[in-house]
């Protein structure tokens, strides 16, 4: 039993194109339509055969769908919802893949009154962007968090849940506010820190950018991967989840100050204790199947 | 022409055991001796056949060597140098692999007066520790920085340089003080930040550690890898390179404050500009062969 028979994907970047590949692989009888605001992306999506039909407008893509997934930056959700609202079939379910759920819920409530909405956030990605970046296994063994409103239709929630499970994800249901707090620490703060340190390293006078790049294997290069993520997407995340991000940032800054003081005063025991504790977190992540167990993320050493 | 015929490795953790594997692979006629202060590591090194002889004391390991490499935490360099000083052959070259070069140069100057010293730092590693963690290709296409004193014997510097090139590394020669500044930003600060954020995430009340682990694929898991590095080694790095680390930390904190203010005031353009600039740094690192070009570090998505 397919949860949905006609799926429309609006926004064909990394996540949208990965959903397209995964639907093709796991539910090949689904009729798949797509749209992207950028004509070059639409042309590329057609060349890649990402969907049965790539429509020139969002409205045309959704007109016959029973599931519509908005895969656009969270700052664009409101406008895209407005653009396609008039063309939504009465019985269709609208979902999304945004990294912040509070702001998206507000945008949908405003622009899609009366529509069955089940917001979702697949916690998966790479540093690549665009229609060529997608692949069918991106969501395998990753968590997809659904944040339905308290009065959401349970049958619709179940269908969206089944849809993500069919793509290989584990599904969790969470309150939107709690989601935004959890993701502020597991995703938004790490990106902010990574963007900052890459900026700091680029701006030094005594150390050249060429030196930073040559000796990046000492640890710095790890940060450059997530600091290479899509700038529009991440600008929107920080503006949309401002309160939770600022709260986590404040805690991080306090902890950093404590460590700074330990270094200044030569408190080796405090450093050693923290470094031992953090090692255990890595082990848990590996044990829970949330990272590659191979050393160095499985990077090639040839 | 082999640069050295009899190599002694003191300290058989990740780096020491990797050098042993690499020497066996690239210079199989070299006579290789080893020692580790931990009897369990010595037993494991014998079982792994890491060297022709695993000696029970540092002195016994170096007594016939023409190259001695200290592969111990930087805080232990002084004591280990003292322990083996009396047994060093007159014509041998002493080197090391420490991540800070100023403090190691001081320790060697004090404990090994008159000895030919060519300090080295291979900028390579994984998050694993111990004699089982080593592998022969760890240094391939990585930089090894030599920091000889101004009056160092050029022939000895050339031989150590050739040795590292034979292990697959590119060699750079640098002043110790400049090395410590460069590595403070490309290695020490990233580790400090990673340790901090993993600590911050573990200490929250509203978000459980189980949630942090489940949703770590949003970016957090990247930081847990280097925060799983050897606690003793890294405690020593921060205590030994205090001045440069605190300077880089100060700059990072200032940049983070600027970004915090941009988020608070909703300055999307400032965020977008930085995020676009940092993306280019990643591209340079890939172009210079300093990271795996595959998305997501080549992590498996199956």
pLDDT tens digits, one per residue of B196-228: 999 999 999 899 999 999 999 999 999 999 999
Look up residue A22 and give its two tokens: 């995964």
Contact call for A301 and B239, based on CB within 8 A:
no
Average pLDDT over residues B58-76: 98
Closest in B185, B204, B222 to A190, CB measured: B222
pLDDT score for B265: 98
B220-249: average pLDDT: 97
pLDDT beyond 90 at B48 = yes
**ipTM attached to this prediction:** 0.94
Does the domain at residues B178-290 carry the CATH identifier 1.20.1740.10?
no
Class of domain A178-292: mainly alpha
The answer to whether B189 faces chain A, any CB pair under 8 Å, is: yes
pTM: 0.95
Cα–Cα distance for residue pair A105/A117, rounded to 1 Å:
9
Residue B247 confidence (pLDDT): 97
Task: List, for residues A160-201, the tens digit of each pLDDT value.
Answer: 999 999 999 999 999 999 999 999 999 999 999 999 999 999
Closest residue by Cα to residue A275 from A262, A287, A288: A262
Query: B290: which 2 tokens?
Result: 């300093």
Name the 3-class secondary structure at B255. helix
pLDDT at B250: 97
pLDDT at B78: 98
The pLDDT assigned to A301 comes to 85
Gap from A108 CA to chain B (nearest CA, Å): 21
* pLDDT of A302: 82
The predicted-structure confidence for B259-286, as pLDDT tens digits, reads as follows 999 999 999 999 999 999 999 999 999 9
Q: How many CB pairs below 8 Å do chains A and B form together? A: 373
Comparing alpha-carbon positions, the chain B residue that sits nearest to A132 is B295
Q: How many helices (H) and strands (E) does chain A have?
A: 13, 9
Q: CB distance from A182 to chain B under 8 Å?
A: yes
Mean pLDDT of chain B: 97
Predicted confidence (pLDDT) at residue B1 exceeds the cutoff of 90: no
Taking the C-alpha atoms of residue A226 and residue A41, their distance in angstroms, rounded to an integer, is 23
With a cut of 50, which residues of chain A have pLDDT below it? none
Separation between Cα atoms, residue A296 and residue B229, nearest integer Å: 11
Residues of B in contact with A147 (CB under 8 A): none
For chain B positions 76-135, those within 8 Å of chain A (CB to CB) are 99, 123-128, 133, 135
Residue B302 has pLDDT above 90, yes or no: no
B-proximal residues of A, 258-297, CB under 8 Å: 259-260, 263-264, 266, 268, 271-272, 274-279, 281-285, 288, 290-292, 294-297
pLDDT above 90: residue B63: yes
Q: What is the pLDDT of residue B175?
A: 96
- Domain range summary for chain A, segments of one domain joined by +: 6-174, 178-292
Given the candidates 1.10.645.10, 2.170.190.11, 3.40.50.720, 3.40.50.300, the CATH classification of the domain at A6-174 is 3.40.50.720
Q: What's the sign of the alpha-carbon dihedral B180, B185, B190, B195?
A: positive
Interchain pair A272, B214: CB under 8 A: no
Q: How far, in Å, CA of A8 to CA of A67, rounded? A: 6
DSSP bridge pairs for B54: B34
Please tell me if residue B173 touches chain A, with a CB cutoff of 8 Å. Answer: no
* Nearest CB neighbour to B123, from listed A218, A229, A235: A218
Name the residue among B213, B219, B282 with its Cβ closest to that of A285. Answer: B213
B8-26 pLDDT, tens digit per residue, is 999 999 999 999 999 999 9
């Amino acid at each position: 039993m397919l949860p949905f028979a006609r799926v429309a994907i609006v926004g064909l970047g990394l996540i949208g194109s990965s959903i397209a590949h995964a639907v093709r692989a796991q539910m090949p009888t689904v009729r798949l339509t797509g749209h992207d605001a950028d004509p070059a992306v639409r042309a590329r999506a057609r060349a890649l055969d990402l969907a049965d039909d790539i429509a020139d407008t969002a409205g045309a893509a959704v007109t016959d769908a029973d599931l519509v997934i908005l895969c656009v930056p969270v700052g664009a959700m409101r406008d895209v919802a407005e653009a396609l609202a008039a063309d939504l079939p009465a019985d269709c379910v609208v979902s999304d893949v945004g990294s912040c759920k509070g702001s998206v819920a507000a945008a949908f409530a405003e622009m899609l009154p009366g529509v069955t909405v089940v917001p979702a956030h697949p916690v998966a990605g790479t540093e690549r962007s665009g229609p060529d970046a997608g692949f069918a296994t991106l969501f395998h063994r990753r968590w997809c968090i659904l944040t339905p409103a308290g009065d959401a239709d349970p049958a619709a929630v179940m269908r969206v849940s089944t849809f993500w499970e069919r793509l290989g994800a584990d599904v969790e249901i969470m309150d939107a506010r709690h989601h935004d707090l959890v993701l502020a620490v597991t995703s938004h703060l790490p990106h902010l820190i990574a963007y900052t340190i890459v900026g700091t390293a680029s701006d030094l006078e005594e150390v050249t950018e060429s030196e930073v790049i040559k000796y990046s294997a000492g640890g710095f290069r790890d940060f450059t991967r997530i600091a290479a993520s899509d700038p529009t997407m991440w600008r929107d995340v920080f503006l949309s989840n401002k309160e939770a991000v600022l709260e986590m940032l404040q805690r991080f800054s306090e902890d950093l100050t404590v460590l700074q003081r330990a270094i200044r005063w030569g408190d080796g025991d405090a450093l050693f204790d923290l470094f031992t504790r953090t090692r255990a977190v890595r082990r848990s992540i590996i044990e829970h199947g949330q990272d590659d167990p191979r050393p160095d993320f499985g990077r090639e050493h040839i």
